[in-house]
Amino acid sequence: MNTVWVFAAGMRRGGSTLQYHLARELVEYAGGFNAGWVTWQNFDKCFKKYDGSHPFVILKGHCYYPDHSDCARRLFDKGRIKALHIYRDIRDIAASYVQMRKKSIWDYILNTEIPSILREHELWIALPKEQIHITSYEKYMFGYEMELMKYFLEISMPPSELVYAMSRHTLEAHKQLIATQEYDASNQRFNTNSLMWDNHIADGKVGKYKTVLTQEQIEQVETVAYDYLREKGYIDDNGQLYEGGHGDVPGDPASERTTG
């Protein structure tokens, strides 16, 4: 059996956990296996354990695995992977980090985390189009996104099953899950099954950086990520261009999320 490896590898604090959960529903419906969070250090072991035993294996991560694992590189070169990637206004990602962290680590966010996120983004989106499904946080439409992933992964799921699967991942469903889930013994803030923290979901609205970050912080992020922000249409020489987004989609259950 030629297992298809599904990498849910969106931007950190960019909606990647929600994207992973929706794809996980599809993969498990098709008889695939959910490997959960897999670091690059553990990928080779994961591959040896599960390759060939399931039609699909889905894992969540952020790094570009072929840069760290020869096993992953061979897998990518053979075209036996499907990758999912979601990107977001990097200023809102910075604001989400600030809100989520218990203490201020601004220098780390600006000088380490943001450059790393941007490097990972460029590597993932450079994959051949048949291997990568890309969406933006601002244009995310809950039900439509799952339909797109269904066709991308070539998994057939009846409409009734699709609706039922989505009902398990609405904003309220995930808030309830966070409120009732047990936490890992080694980390009392993180659940290794849901891959969600105790404060994983905030308001998630587009443009939150305007009220969370200081003007100096906004300008610092725009300096570091200027090319990315211009390329994606988030700013031009006169400031921000995009004001709409998934927070404006009527009835969109994902409209008040921040997922990492």
For residue 201, give the CATH number of its domain.
Answer: 3.40.50.300
In a domain, 256, yes or no: no
In a domain, 241, yes or no: yes
What is the per-residue pLDDT across 184-198, written as a single tens digit (0 to 9) for each?
666 667 666 666 666
Query: Taking residues 163-185, what's their average pLDDT?
Result: 71
What is the per-residue pLDDT across 17-60, written as a single tens digit (0 to 9) for each?
889 989 999 999 999 999 999 999 999 999 999 999 999 999 99
> Helix or strand or coil: residue 209?
helix
DSSP-assigned beta bridge partners for residue 133: 84
Q: How far apart are CA 215 and CA 206, in angstroms?
A: 17
> Helix or strand or coil: residue 196?
strand
pTM: 0.84
In a domain, 73, yes or no: yes
Q: How far apart are CA 111 and CA 88, in angstroms?
A: 18
In a domain, 260, yes or no: no
The residue range of the domain holding 24 is: 4-248
- If one counts every other C-beta atom within 10 angstroms of the C-beta of residue 55, the result is 14
What is the per-residue pLDDT across 61-108, written as a single tens digit (0 to 9) for each?
999 999 999 999 999 999 999 999 999 999 999 998 888 775 678 999
Q: How far apart are CA 157 and CA 29, in angstroms?
A: 8
In a domain, 254, yes or no: no
> What average pLDDT is seen over the chain?
84
Q: How far apart are CA 160 and CA 143, in angstroms?
A: 12
What is the per-residue pLDDT across 233-253, written as a single tens digit (0 to 9) for each?
998 776 665 544 333 322 333
pLDDT of residue 69: 95
In a domain, 255, yes or no: no
> Helix or strand or coil: residue 248?
helix
Indicate the burial class of 128 (C-beta count within 10 angstroms; 0-12, 13-18, 19 or more): exposed
In a domain, 89, yes or no: yes
Counting residues of the chain whose pLDDT is more than 90, the rounded percentage is: 57
* Greatest alpha-carbon span in the chain: 54
Number of folded domains that form the chain: 1
The DSSP output letter for 4 is: E
> Helix or strand or coil: residue 175?
helix
In a domain, 134, yes or no: yes
